[in-house]
Chains A and B, each alone.
Chain A
Amino acid sequence: MFYTHDSTAFWHGSLAVIPATRGPMRPQNYGSFARQRLSTDGIGSMTLTLTNLVVGSAIRIEVASTGALVTSRTAAGASETFTLDYYAGGNANNDLRIKVRKASGAPFYKPYETQAVLSAAAKSVFVAQILD
Chain B
Amino acid sequence: MEISFAIHTVEVESQNAAQGTNPVRQLGDETQSAWLPDPRVSSESASHLTDEAGFGPLNEHDVELERADALEWDESSDLAYTADGIGSLSLDGKGIGYMGPQSGNALLRSLQASSILLRNRENISIPRISPEPLLSEDLIHSTTFRNKCLDYYFQYFSNAYPILHEGYFRAQYAGREPLLDISEMLILMIRGATEA
Decide whether A and B are members of one complex.
no
Residues of B at under 8 Å CB distance from A? none
